[in-house]
């Protein structure tokens, strides 16, 4: 092997390592951030598939960047390995939305209160299409884990007592595989 050929191979290996590492970091970054967030939410809620309600509008040091100061979120870290996650409850009239983020942080589903005529939400997140009742919205997650973020508008602290009651009236439960929502 000539010196020139060996140098070319080494250079190519270096460039391949650079491109591979860059691509891996781009792929890995959202998943790492999501995994951290899922663990944090599950820790705060004392488990996966459980609701964690933020109760206060006070600023929390650290946390995610560009936090939204207008809403009080309920978050659920889901894990569909044991079954589907069924979320039900009343919407919050001033503004309510439910967003589902897959494990790569992609926003795979969103719905708001004005899109629900009944004033209630009934959402089933599953790993595969599920048989549901007529009023249930089925969201199929491309990943086993992810996050649900429910946003309720909280313009100021005077809204909090009613908002807390609204939070407490929602339910999260796991539907075992094979059972119907």
Partner 1 sequence: MNALRASSLALLVIIIGAGGGAWLAWKRMTAEEVNARIERSSGPWRWNADDRMFSDALSIARTAQFGPFPMGSSQVTYYVALADSSGERLRGDARYRLHGPLPRTRFWSIAAYDETGYLFENPAQKYSLSSERLASSDDPAAEAVQAFAAGRLDLTVGVPGGAPGTLPTGSGPMFLVFRVYQPETPLFPGADSPVPITIERLDSP
Give the binding site for partner 1 (CB under 8 A).
Answer: 6, 9-11, 13-27, 29-30, 33-34, 37, 57-59, 64-70, 94-95, 97, 99, 101, 104-107, 110, 112, 114, 147, 149, 151, 153, 155-156, 158
The Cα 120–Cα 102 span in angstroms is 23
The whole-angstrom separation of Cα 57 and Cα 152 is 12
CA distance 34 to 103: 6
Sign of CA dihedral 174, 80, 122, 53: positive
Nearer to partner 1, 93 or 168 (CB): 93
**Nearest CB to partner 1, comparing residues 142 and 179:** 142
- Closer CB to partner 1, 34 or 175, in the complex: 34
C-beta of 121 vs 175, nearer to partner 1: 121
Q: At 120, which helix (H) or strand (E)?
A: strand 120-126
Nearest CA to 121 out of 81, 93, 143, 84 is that of: 93
Smallest separation (angstroms) from partner 1 to the CB of 2: 13
Least distance (Å) from partner 1 to the CB of residue 131? 27
């Amino acid at each position: 092997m000539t010196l020139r050929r060996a140098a070319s191979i080494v250079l190519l290996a270096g460039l391949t390592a650079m491109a591979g590492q860059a691509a891996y970091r781009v792929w890995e970054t959202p998943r790492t951030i999501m995994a951290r967030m899922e663990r944090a939410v599950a820790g705060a809620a004392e488990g996966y598939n459980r609701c964690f309600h933020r109760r206060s509008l006070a600023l929390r040091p650290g946390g995610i960047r560009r936090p939204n100061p207008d809403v009080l979120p309920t978050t659920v870290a889901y894990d569909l390995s044991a079954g589907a996650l069924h979320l039900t409850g009343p919407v919050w009239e001033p503004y309510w939305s439910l967003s589902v983020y897959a494990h790569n942080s992609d926003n795979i589903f969103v719905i708001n209160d004005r899109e629900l005529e009944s004033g209630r939400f009934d959402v089933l997140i599953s790993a595969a299409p599920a048989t549901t009742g007529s009023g249930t919205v089925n969201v199929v997650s491309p990943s086993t884990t992810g996050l649900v973020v429910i946003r309720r508008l909280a313009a100021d602290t005077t809204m909090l007592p009613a908002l807390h009651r609204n939070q407490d009236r929602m339910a999260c439960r796991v539907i075992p595989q094979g059972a119907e929502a």
